[in-house]
A and B are shown apart, each in its own frame.
Chain A
Amino acid sequence: MSSGVGVDLQDMWIKFGDFVAVREANVNIKGGEFFSFLGPSGCGKTTILRAVSGFLEPSDGKVLIGGNDMAGKGPNERPTALIFQNLALFPLMKVWENITFSMEVRGASADERRKRADELLDMIALSGQGDKLPSELSGGQKQRVAIARALCAQPDVLLLDEPLSALDLKLRQHMRTELREIQKRVGITFIYITHDQGEALTMSDSVAVMKAGIIDQISDGKSIYDDPATAFVASFVGENNVFRGKISKIIDGQAIIDTNRTGLLRGRVSSMAQGKLSVGDDAMMFIRPEALDISEEKSASDTRIIANVRHSEFEGQSYNVFMEGSAGKEMKMALTNRGETRLYDADVELTLGYDANQAVIVPAGELASE
């Protein structure tokens, strides 16, 4: 599958006047990979994509596609195709004309184009709808037409800018699988942008998490989730309980953190933070709601926390229990629904336990808002 064309960003900076939209990006995207940029709105994802597709020149650094420096090459000279955030289907052209626009500008005959359009329409399960206008399609259908239009240009790299953000949940989930399948079938490099972490994690071979123009971590989805490099990544990807404090002891890969409100707790130092933390440093420990469980032991220890139930809610596959620990420390626990009734009443006192390897310690830093 590594037949595709890779993309490299080398020390790339993008500035708009004094404003730095992307700071020193270093990314290696392997050929044939499904690579995602994940980050909150306004963090510079689209800007990176525009630099790759040629609508922007980096203020500094290089963009390489298949090892070739792209400096000075316009978007129509690069082997990329971009699927725009708003799709940008040509409203006055029929679906089949939209799909084969790239052939039209290369001077292909109408017959040729029609034939190719029919093939692609079959692929995206829209056979026989080629004569409609884009305005006559549903959101998901437009989506697929945009994909077909980009694929028709036979790019080496397909760039997708939040293509699923306008769709409803069901369709989004369906399109995720479909996109992944298309990517496997055509075997070209996909660079995918999203602010939806679920999307990034399910589809990607690698994910880059961005915060205000800075790439915090590049890894496969599992590492991003289980082994976040920074407090931002830990708080942005999935839900987490945060415990702030100072490092009081470091033992092998683990550390004891003296938390502000919950006492001494043990956790694993994130692999990216290994060696960067020393005793007395400000740090943060993150425990996922699903990593917490009811402990058999009733006494507190460095992997047990005592808390009172505030309220619980039933969420189908799990129960969410919201609790308050000492000094008003708020926590959330997710318990898998196994059939027994486990909705806890308010004010019940629980002892929560966790596996120290599932609590991640990173240097103190900015959290994702919300």
Chain B
Amino acid sequence: MKTESPLIRFGLAIYLVLFFTYLLGPLVLMGITAFNSASFPQVTPWEVFSFEWFTTLFNDKRILSGIGNSLIVGFFTVILSVAMGLAGALMLTQIWPKLRATFYTVIIAPILIPGVVLGISTLVFWDRVNIMLGLSDDSFLRNGIFLTVLGQATFISSYCMLVFVARLQRYDLGLTEAALDLGATHVQAFRKIQLPFLMPAVGSAAVLAFLASFENYNTTTFTFQDYPTLTIELAQKVRYGIDPSVSALAFIIVVITVFFALLNEVKTRRAQLAIANGAPVGAVSGSFKMPGFFSGNPAAVVLTLFVAVVVGTIAYSQFYDPEPAKAVLLKEKRAAQQLRIKALQERVRLQRLEKKLKGPDIFGSGNSKVPQPPSKSASPFGNVFAPTNLEKAAGTNKDEKKPAPKKPGTSAFGNVFAPTNLEKAAPKE
């Protein structure tokens, strides 16, 4: 097809760039902010490359316990959802055909019900059960993990069922019949024939269930009780202002995701290669043969590079010290500040002089332009976050802060961010 005009192809390219920017842009930006020493997640006034937010993250007890709770909840949700989803899907294939559509609708309904409703109803339902059984207030029916797992599994098991239904549609029931015919019991036929066939679907359903559980907020927010999961902790944290340790967490999650995506790709490609070469898959997927591993498999190369970069970065972070660079930056900032103060003082002096000489000032507005600081790192927005930087520096700078807010014409953003920054800084002290 050479009839495609260059214009269309150009347009398509633009579209793709926009599309991927829209999809991945926020993730990339967030990942970058994790390495900026600035205390607000930001990219543009780049301060100093630093791993400090990762340290902050790993020292945040609440985040860590949130991850722990998320993992526990995820584990049990996976088990429950996969089991229920599998049972539902099998039921769907066995049930009387006329009932099938109804059964399907019923079982798919939890996906369509808002998570909030599921959360509240889970809470209310088990509370009632608890009362009916006459159990104490701290019985396991009121346990946060128990409730969260059940609440999440109500709709996650429907996802799992969809995965199983898709796989089961490709299952030849003749295989089960063949097994029965050869003397197997129904259980044996299921365990030895049908279940192995469903195994890939069990894998994908488990991954899907875990991810859905890990990222769930709506339902969990009603059921977590004493066991806040990661999403709950993050939401609570963000309520008091955001800092780049959240970016650091996001970055880690992205890295893990990319790793598994690449790993999966490598496996798929190897299987394809094996089939293309006519070799049995089983024979190839046994061991890692170095030359064979890479041959004709770009995904494997990318994966190896990726792992190398991650390992390298972690190793680098062990001895990398951002402090000297920070000190330099601080110095520059202070110098810039001094310059600005001097300029201001000069202008005030001039104004006073002019006032003395003439009456009203005609060029006043023009003069209000502050001379740009010479330093490279002090960007045009340098003074936007100035209050934060000053805060960090030391108490002595506090009196120097005063002139800054006095210049309303300098920057449109200056005033907007200043209060936030001050507020955030406050609890630290």
Q: Which residues of A does B touch, CB under 8 Å?
A: 53-55, 74-76, 80-82, 84, 86, 88, 90-92, 101-102, 104-106, 132-133, 136, 149-150, 153
Tell me, yes or no, whether B359 is within 8 Å of chain A by CB.
no
A75 and B280 within 8 A (CB): no
Does B116 lie at the interface of the complex (its beta carbon under 8 Å from any beta carbon of A)?
no
A86–B175 CA distance with the chains assembled, in angstroms: 10
A88 touches B183 (CB 8 A): no
Given contacts A76-B180, A153-B183, contact A105 B188 (CB under 8 A): yes
Main secondary structure of the interface of B (DSSP, over half): helix
* Measured CA separation A102–B177 after assembly (Å): 13
Cα distance A283–B174 when bound, in Å? 44
A76 close to B183 (CB less than 8 A)? yes
Q: Could you tell me if B197 and A92 are in contact, using CB atoms closer than 8 angstroms?
A: yes
Given A92-B196, A92-B197, A133-B282; A84-B182 close (CB under 8 Å): no
- CB distance A76 to B172 under 8 Å? no
Report whether A75 and B177 are in contact in the complex, using a CB–CB cutoff of 8 Å: yes
Say how far B250's CB is from chain A's closest CB, in angstroms.
Answer: 40
Set B178, B184, B185: member contacting A82, Cβ < 8 A: B178
Q: Is the CB of A88 within 8 A of B180?
A: no
> In the complex, what residues of A have CB within 8 A of residue B183's CB?
76, 102, 105-106, 153
Most buried by A among B178, B181, B193: B181
| Complexed CA–CA distance, A55 and B183 (Å) | 13
Query: 6 smallest A-B Cβ distances: which pairs?
Result: A102-B182, A88-B178, A88-B174, A105-B184, A75-B180, A75-B181
Residues of B within 8 A of A136 (CB): 280
Interface mask (B161-197 → A, CB under 8 Å = 1, otherwise 0): 0000000000010110111111111001000110011
**B178 CB contacts on chain A under 8 angstroms:** 82, 84, 88, 90
Closest chain A CB from B54 CB (angstroms): 44
Residue of A nearest to B279 (CB): A136
Contact, CB under 8 Å: A55 / B177: yes
* Minimum C-beta distance from A196 to chain B (A): 21
Q: Indicate if the CB atoms of B175 and A81 lie closer than 8 Å.
A: no
CB neighbours of A81 from chain B (8 A): 181-182
Q: Would you mind naming 9 contact pairs between A and B with Cβ atoms under 8 Å apart?
A: A53-B181, A55-B177, A76-B180, A81-B181, A84-B178, A88-B175, A92-B197, A101-B184, A136-B280
Q: How far is A80 from B183 in the complex, measured between Cα atoms in Å? A: 9
Residues of B within 8 A of A88 (CB): 172, 174-175, 177-178
Whether the Cβ atoms of A132 and B280 lie closer than 8 Å is: yes
- Interface contact A105-B197, CB-CB below 8 Å: no
In the bound assembly, the distance between CA atoms of A106 and B184 in angstroms comes to 8
Q: A84-B174, A90-B193 are in contact. Are A101 and B280 (CB under 8 A)?
A: no
Complex partner residue of A76 from B175, B181, B193, B196, CB under 8 angstroms = B181
A88 to B182, CA, bound (A): 12
> Known contacts A84-B174, A88-B175: does B181 contact A133 (CB below 8 Å)?
no
Q: Which residues of the partner chain A approach B181 to less than 8 Å between Cβ atoms?
A: 53-55, 75-76, 80-82
A293 to chain B, nearest CB (A): 49
Say how far B275's CB is from chain A's closest CB, in angstroms.
9
- The residues of A that contact B184 with a CB separation of less than 8 Å are 76, 101-102, 105
A91 contact set on B, CB distance < 8 A: 175, 197
Apart from A76-B181, A81-B182, what are 7 other A-B pairs with CB-CB below 8 Å?
A53-B181, A82-B178, A84-B177, A88-B172, A88-B175, A101-B184, A102-B182
Query: Which of chain B's residues have a CB closer than 8 A to the CB of A53?
Result: 181
Q: How far is the CB of B96 from chain A (nearest CB, A)?
A: 13
Of chain A, the residue at the smallest CB distance from B193 is: A90
**What residues of A have a CB within 8 angstroms of the CB of B197 in the complex?**
91-92
A149 to B193, CA, bound (A): 15
Chain B residues whose C-beta falls within 8 Å of the C-beta of A84 in the assembled complex: 174, 177-178
Question: Which residues on A sit within 8 Å (CB–CB) of B180?
Answer: 74-76
State A86–B177 Cα separation when bound (angstroms): 12
Question: Given the interface contacts A88-B172, A90-B175, A105-B192, does A76 sit within 8 Å of B280 by beta carbon?
Answer: no
Q: Is the CB of A105 within 8 A of B172?
A: no
| Complex Cα gap A153–B184 (Å) | 11
Q: Name B172's contact: one of A55, A86, A104, A132 (CB within 8 Å).
A: A86
Measured between beta carbons, the chain B residues less than 8 angstroms from A102 are 182-184
User: Is B182 a contact of A133 with CB atoms below 8 Å?
Assistant: no
CB A103 to nearest CB in B, in angstroms, measures: 9
B196 in contact with A86 (CB, 8 Å): no
**Residue of B with least CB distance to A133:** B280
> B residues within 8 A CB of A86?
172, 174
Instruction: Tell me the complex Cα distance, A136–B282, Å.
Output: 12
Query: In the complex, which residues of chain A have a beta carbon less than 8 angstroms from the beta carbon of B172?
Result: 86, 88
Query: How far apart are the CA atoms of A55 and B188 in the complex, in Å?
Result: 17
Which of B183, B185, B188, B197 has the most chain A CB atoms inside 10 A of its CB? B183
Q: How far is the CA of A150 from the CA of B178 in the complex (A)?
A: 9
Measured in the bound complex, the distance between the Cα atoms of B197 and A91 in whole Å is 9
Nearest CB of A to B21, in Å: 43
Q: Is the CB of A101 within 8 A of B174?
A: no
Which one of A54, A55, A105, A132 lies within 8 Å of B182 (CB-CB)? A105
Minimum Cβ distance to chain A for residue B174 (Å): 4
In Å, the complex CA distance between A116 and B161 comes to: 40
Write out the residue numbers on chain A whose beta carbons fall within 8 Å of the beta carbon of B282. 133
Q: In whole angstroms, how far apart are the Cα atoms of A133 and B182 in the complex?
A: 19
A149: which B residues are within 8 A, CB to CB? 182
